[in-house]
Structure 1
Amino acid sequence: MREAMQISQENSRTADVALLPLNGFGEGEKSEQAGQQFKVGRVLLQRLRRICSVVVKGSAHEHVGMWYAGLVAGKLAAEVMYYYAGTLPSEFFRVLGDRNLPAFASLLGRCVVVVGLAGSCKAVLEYVGGLIGVSMRQELTRYTHARYLRAPNFYSVATSGTIDNPDQRTTQDIERLTRSGADVLAELLIAPFLIAYYTVQCWKMAGIYGPLAIYIYFGIGAAATRLAMAPIIRQVYIQEQAEGDFRFHHVRTGECAESIAFIAGEDRERAAADRALKAVTGAQRRVLGKQFWLGLLTQVFAYMGSTVSYVIIGVPIFMGSYDDKSGAELSSIISLNAFVSIYLIYRFTSVIELTKRLADVAGYATRVAQLWEELDRLDVEAEADDADSGVSIRDSAVIVARGLDVCTPGGVRLVTELDLEIGVGDSLVITGPNGAGKTALLRTLCGLWRPGGGEVQLAHTNGAPDVLFLPQAPYIIGGSLREQLCYPGLWGGRHAMCFNADIVRILATVGLSHVVDIVGTSNLDYPYTVQAWLRLLSPGERQMMSIARVLFWRPKFVMLDECTSALDACAAEALYRAILDAGITVVSVSHSAHLERFHKRRLSLDGSGGYTLDDVR
């Protein structure tokens, strides 16, 4: 199934390349709705609010909230230290102008203490901010796991191609979002308090026109940077998609290294990897290009602020407000006013500079929120279709199809008006040409694909499906031999105990006794990596392991999709015999005539939507 998922993702990347990089919407979506994806407006604010809500409502919200409140309080306390550190130069101007050595020595000692505290506060706050980012990542990722890694959302999202690279959105995008977002949010929260405080201080020293000039200056800068922000969000989104495609290519080639090596496909894969790399670096260049204009605005705004501060203090000086002050006192006043004005401008500038980081955060948030919104859509769709989905969940020992139309998720009809009933012991083999819909029929009977029409009744026990599906490429996990055999650990609403004797007996039945010998009976719970298992088990032995899982769980029905294709005839027949001896009813897709004798009936698909059903003689 994993291989099929990857092929589906690759196909979706090729087919939808003109759509997905921009918005992830289907072809019928309105362009104005898609255009809202990258604007700084209502949609972005709603997404950011939802992300914050998930963090606050998470299981760890108590300590996240406490740490975040502490971070904001700590930043405000640190600003007090920074303020006192910033006022020290004006006092140095005064004592040096007065040539007062004792006052200079006292001031120097106080300076060391204040600067030391300010530096310590900054280091502690960076550490606390990092811890908050980790906690936020944990909550957002857990929430995404709970929504994504469950039926039927996982299969739908992973195979449909509607959302590109859901794995990257869950891992890398959330990590970058929380790493940058924690500090950005803290800075935005304390900004109003600091701006208000330094506005009052600036007013006291320069009158109302001082802060008023700064506010007008800030308004011009904020308007300019807002216009430059939206293109960055869009380009960050596209860059992350290109990064996901680049990573997917390397993961895919790594998993299929043997097939590539056998056919000498390294040159072709290198060329494809270089193309994916070119897309990534091209996207990075475009992001840098968009960020350049925003950076230019913010840097000019920041450096011009010092000039504005001197204009602010220059007006009262030239108007004679400080004519009664000595040179040392005037220097002290100029230094203090410059600090207050520059710091007020700096606080405004820091808000504007945050827009550059906020643009990156918004790009990551858009990708994460789009995944959640797709999962929301699937949940609503599942609830709406639950009553008339054509799938029965009542306990039953039979699989029934009535007037069943088998269609691909894209709407291509493969089998029409199929009437079929499979009871316990009534094993069925499905045959037909390639593309006739054999695997699609199994997926529909198992409930992975929705019927295009008609009705399907699945076999259930205690309200849970009693059907296992084995694809041609078995899924091998990382973990112990015990976990490998009893994967997924909880199935069909039950959790079965897997004793050492069960492992030895079942693996001997399927021909894998040597695996127990290699691992050792004392190491049945040793957690091996996926790579170790793939090196140990040949393709045929992996298929044997998947059959071993069937013998462990003993479902009423098992659907086998060419799952013995890597085995010789004798080994395949032995596995079929073991399954039937365990009282499990087999529904097989097979091109092997020698396996038909293990079935009672044959369903032959003609590739044009029709079928014939007869007994196996």
Structure 2
Amino acid sequence: MNRFNCTAVQQFWAIAKLYWLSSEKFNVLALFTILGVLLFANTQVKVLLNTIQGDLISALAAQDRTRFWQGILMAFGGIIFFGFLNSGYSYLRERIGLYWRKWLTHYLLNQYFRDRNFYDLSNFHKDIDNPDQRIAEDVANFCQQSMQFLVNIIESIFVVLAFSIILWSISANLVIALVIYSLLAYTITIVLYGRKLTQLNIEQLKKEANFRFGLIRIRENAESIAFYNGISQESHKVKFLFAHVYKNFQRLILWSEIYLNIFKNQFGYLTLIIPALILGNQIISGEIEVGKVTEASGAFGQVAFSVNLIMYQFEKFTKFAASINRLYVFSEYFNQPRKQIDSTRNIDIVNDSRLAFDNLTVQTPNYQKNLVKNLSLSLEPGQGLLIMGDSGCGKSSLLRALAGLWNSGTGVIVRPKLEEMLFLPQRPYMILGTLREQLIYPNDQVDISDQELEKVLYLVNLSDLGTRFGGLDVEQDWSDILSLGEQQRLAFARLLVTKPKYAILDEATSALDVNNEEHLYSLLVDTGTTFISVGHRPSLQKYHQVILNL
């Protein structure tokens, strides 16, 4: 179980140090200092209120009216001040957590997009599930919970120091009892409940994410499911996913709400009895005032809660440990060197101002099947290459190798840098944005006027697109409101806008009629772009100088 604690701490620090050992931490150190001052002041007010509570009981027992009302006035003042302090440090805690989340989110996003890691995760490392949830939810939970636990720990240290002095001044036996009580509470909680609750929370996060992903897939493929009338099968699938959520959550609440709560409630209420047991004889004999029991009980409870913070917030702690694990695995993926079966069985890519394949063999990523074998050809600038063949013969896989998405195989690919190439897949990617952003994608900005963009739309037979949807700067869900043929023409317009030196078209006109397809290829030929096409129609052959049959 100690190994469980050490693992959680090591994983936590591996993520936390990214921010707190960076230069960005200086932006929040002033806020953190103010936070510490407020926590210290908050502790002193707690000590004052606890002392006043004991004085009020003693004043009532002694029937001392003046002392009683003085205590009431001081208590009201302390409560008002206590409210301001709590609000202040809560605000600063959330503000620091927000700064931390912003930095960590940007860091992970940079890692996610670096070297197209998002593609590798999606296709080759599916054991790291739901990266979207890890970046969005797990980062938020990690930063917020970290700050909450950190503030609780700092506050607990102040509370233990301040109230232990009070307890020692009343009776040294109270401090000894407190140490024994705390050791028992910590040991029992960690040993009996630690690993089980953490594992259940990890499983719950994973199963909830899978259930949500299943619902998202239905939303994104609603039309296809409706056409297939696959309602029954899809319904069974998501209900099956939810059944796993339900079953695991049953076990989780059994452990957290029954087993753990029985122990917490029984052990927690001992703090009300222990001070009375220790001080009972002194009160009865008149050695100390009766209010000292109240003061000691309050101080004992404060220190016991602070020392045993893990026991009282153990359910939150195990959920936090689960999210740490998911975030740690995700973060460590980016720091690990990419595993390769054999460096001699990887395709070499050489950057040059031409396109060529030299004795190229393309294999599936698991190296178990040859898709293209011993291919050699060279494409002159301005020429077109048409790749044809039966479905599943490796046409798209050859393009994946050309783009550097797959490197399983042997041989050499000579190609220009990716910045000089534009890939058009069969199913165009429609970004969330305006029509202008669709046309200039994947660039952020292109020096082109509205008139030129409208001319491009006219050339690809989409001249009415701007007027239909409110102009070039109106955001729409383009993948939803445009047909596949319109999307393919819009994607083709990107070629005319960005004017790449090289273009790769993977059945990029498959949804178009022959006339529209011939018109677009005529425009492409006129640009002088060197291009590679994957297609089935014989009518495409006249636009390509080299034909490759796989």
* TM-score under structure 1 length normalisation: 0.83
Match of 1:513 among 463, 475, 485: 463
Match of 1:411 among 352, 367, 384: 367
User: Is 1:471 the counterpart of 2:471 in the alignment?
Assistant: no
Show the counterpart of 1:552: 497
Note the C-alpha offset of 1:58: 5.8
Give percent identity, aligned residues only: 26
1:154-303 aligned at under 5 Å gives the runs 154-160=118-124, 161-207=126-172, 209-227=173-191, 228-292=193-257, 293-303=259-269
Show the counterpart of 1:447: 404
Moved more, 51-60 or 186-195: 51-60
One-letter amino acid of the counterpart of residue 375, structure 1: F
Note the C-alpha offset of 1:465: 3.9
Match of 2:442 among 488, 491, 496: 488
Gaps of 5+ in 2: none
Name the count of aligned residue pairs: 546
CA distance in 1 between partners of 2:341 and 2:419 (Å): 21
SS in 2 for 1:567: coil
CA distance in 2 between partners of 1:43 and 1:405 (Å): 44
One-letter amino acid of the counterpart of residue 291, structure 1: S
Conserved? CA contact 1:512–1:541, under 8 Å: yes
Match of 1:136 among 88, 94, 100: 100
CA distance in 1 between partners of 2:153 and 2:537 (Å): 67
Q: 1:61 to 1:525 in 2, by over 3 A?
A: farther
CA distance in 2 between partners of 1:546 and 1:604 (Å): 26
Conserved? CA contact 1:56–1:65, under 8 Å: no
Show the counterpart of 2:295: 336
Note the C-alpha offset of 1:591: 1.6
Show the counterpart of 2:277: 311
Match of 1:367 among 322, 326, 329: 326
CA distance in 1 between partners of 2:344 and 2:168 (Å): 67
User: Is 1:433 the counterpart of 2:390 in the alignment?
Assistant: yes
Match of 2:485 among 518, 533, 540: 540
- Deviation digits for residues 240-265 of structure 1 (CA, Å, limit 9, x no counterpart): 11122112112211111111122222
Conserved? CA contact 1:559–1:588, under 8 Å: yes
Show the counterpart of 2:473: 525
Q: 1:504 to 1:567 in 2, by over 3 A?
A: same
Conserved? CA contact 2:420–2:500, under 8 Å: yes
Gaps of 5+ in 1: 1-35, 606-617
Q: 1:407 to 1:567 in 2, by over 3 A?
A: same
Q: 1:43 to 1:502 in 2, by over 3 A?
A: farther
Moved more, 49-58 or 591-600: 49-58
Q: 1:501 to 1:107 in 2, by over 3 A?
A: same
Q: 1:383 to 1:256 in 2, by over 3 A?
A: closer
- Deviation digits for residues 147-202 of structure 1 (CA, Å, limit 9, x no counterpart): 10232312111222131111111112222222322211211233233223322322
SS in 1 for 2:433: coil
Q: 1:303 to 1:324 in 2, by over 3 A?
A: closer
Match of 1:352 among 281, 297, 311: 311
Q: CA RMSD in A?
A: 2.5
Moved more, 41-50 or 250-259: 41-50
Conserved? CA contact 2:198–2:321, under 8 Å: yes
Show the counterpart of 2:447: 497
CA distance in 2 between partners of 1:386 and 1:86 (Å): 70
Note the C-alpha offset of 1:331: 0.6
SS in 2 for 1:450: coil
One-letter amino acid of the counterpart of residue 110, structure 1: M
Note the C-alpha offset of 1:145: 0.4
Moved more, 558-567 or 337-346: 337-346
* TM-score under structure 2 length normalisation: 0.92
One-letter amino acid of the counterpart of residue 585, structure 1: T
CA distance in 2 between partners of 1:250 and 1:162 (Å): 20
Show the counterpart of 2:38: 74
CA distance in 2 between partners of 1:274 and 1:451 (Å): 38
One-letter amino acid of the counterpart of residue 100, structure 2: M
Show the counterpart of 1:593: 538
CA distance in 1 between partners of 2:308 and 2:267 (Å): 7
SS in 1 for 2:63: coil
Q: 1:389 to 1:465 in 2, by over 3 A?
A: farther
CA distance in 2 between partners of 1:71 and 1:283 (Å): 39
CA distance in 1 between partners of 2:355 and 2:339 (Å): 22
